A and B are shown apart, each in its own frame.
Chain A
């Protein structure tokens, strides 16, 4: 079975802190994605990566950056956390040429 893991289920940070969210997949997937999910807004794509060191902006990249140094790991970075970044963050991965995305359990981030 495909497994996508995220470093934390719950995280509390202070405004202005640098925050790292890590995602690891064990199925050698080429593509990895970061979404945030908010009530009434649904799932919104922040960034995705289709190869090591490659990244593409999604719909809401402002205030975020990403890093993909190894194929299995995709990190989301909040350079200076703000309260409007309080959300559920979901990582997903997929094979090239296959459309199904496999999601991790999510990280619920609270920025105070």
Chain B
């Protein structure tokens, strides 16, 4: 069966360090992968998209990698700040439709 797995345990890191979140998938052939941020009681907000033929994407302090052999994406936040504390969701999409399949998310807590 298809699965998208993100660390269910919260990730606690100190301000200034790099946070690394993992998204693993099985029985999918995604054309692209997206990362969203969700704050409590709010809808997800799009952060980054990476396509299957791309290895890495960057946006300011954010970096995403995509390894289709390992079936894994890593999401990095460098120089993390308390304001980065949120739940981060990965989502997979295919070329055959516009619906996304979401992971359950990983909660990140950045402490001063």
Contact = CB atoms under 8 A, between A and B. Distances in A.
Contact of B98 (A4, A31, A35, A106): A31
A64 interface: no
A94 B104 contact: no
Contact of B49 (A45, A100, A108): A100
Given A96-B98, A102-B46, 8 more contacts: A33-B99, A42-B103, A42-B105, A43-B102, A100-B34, A103-B44, A103-B45, A104-B43
Interface of B: 32, 34, 41-46, 49, 89, 93, 98-105
In the A-B complex, the 4 residue pairs with the smallest Cβ-Cβ separation, listed nearest first, are: A103-B43, A42-B104, A43-B102, A100-B46
Interface of A: 4, 31, 33, 35, 40-43, 45, 48, 50, 56, 58, 90, 92, 94, 96, 99-106, 108
